[in-house]
Amino acid sequence: MTKLLFDPEIIPVESLAGEAAVSPERLTALWLRTRFANHPPWVAEQTDEHLSREKVGSLTPASVLLPIVEREQGLTLLFTQRSEHLTDHGGQVSFPGGRREESDRSAIETALRETEEEVGLDRRHVEVIGTLPDYLTSTGYRVTPVVSLVRPPFDTCADPMEVAEIFEVPLAFLMDGAHHQRRAAEFPHGVHRTFYAMPYDRFFIWGATAGMLRNLFHFLRA
């Protein structure tokens, strides 16, 4: 999503999604590997943003990496706060990633390359365990979420041209429907849209990133 003329953080919360949290026994590296290797039927959630692009043919392929970090105190997800000057998603919380290049052999390759470039996470530390359904953004991207496990120790180094900050959020917090807010606003060109938000500490996770997290949530609860 491009830069907005309003602050989504001050938009009132309309409701909470409210589903029960993913059980703790499912939030382990071993369980996640097993789930992605052999998962039951499940249905991905389509947000307003996704539905608005569903019938558009010309979408730019892109990928993001969902780096699940195996911390001693529990699994976390690594995010970036994008630099303010960026045209697309400037200042917003996102997963590391970007558009596919001709040299990329696959969506997974795109996610790994972009992550190395943005946050300096070497792919030798990354164990890809699967992908989630593509997410269509209002800015014209078809984004493949690539889910991975990352075992410390590892180094990160933010590219200051793209990333203002790197941070982690407990996976248990994100996989609890009580923390999934629904908000609604008028977007540019008179578009009314409902979106998810998952505020954590001083970070405001929303939009496409929250939409992809909702699908991870449904996938793990199935």
205 vs 220: CA distance, rounded Å: 19
Q: Identify the pLDDT of residue 87.
A: 53
Ranges of the chain whose pLDDT falls below 70: 1-6, 51-57, 85-90, 188-190
Greatest C-alpha distance within the chain: 47
Domain boundaries, the chain: 8-221
- In the CATH scheme, what is the code of domain 8-221? 3.90.79.10
Residues near 38 by beta carbon (within 8 Å), at least 6 away in sequence: none
Please tell me the pTM assigned to this model. 0.92
Q: Identify the pLDDT of residue 1.
A: 39
194 vs 173: CA distance, rounded Å: 22
Instruction: Annotate 6-20 with b (16+ C-beta within 10 A) or e (fewer).
Output: eebeebeeeeebeee
